[in-house]
Amino acid sequence: MVVAVLADGGSSPPPRSGTVCVTQLGTCPMVESLPVGASCVCRTPDGEIGGVVD
């Protein structure tokens, strides 16, 4: 079995980023690009809803 280990961090690709926040109620666009999987918030007339960047 062969296992690759990235010791210097320079060999890995840059993290993917997204500009859409996905919540249980749908999606909303984001002003900034954040790493995929990061937490985000969509603002609605009823308040804020937490989600995940996609």
pLDDT tens, residue by residue, 36-50: 999 999 998 989 999
What pLDDT, on the 0 to 100 scale, is given for residue 14?
72
- 17, pLDDT greater than 50: yes
DSSP secondary structure letter of residue 15? P
Give the model's confidence band at 22: pLDDT under 50 very low, under 70 low, under 90 confident, else very high: very high
Pair 3, 33: CB distance under 8 Å:
no
Whole-model pTM: value is 0.69
What pLDDT, on the 0 to 100 scale, is given for residue 15?
77
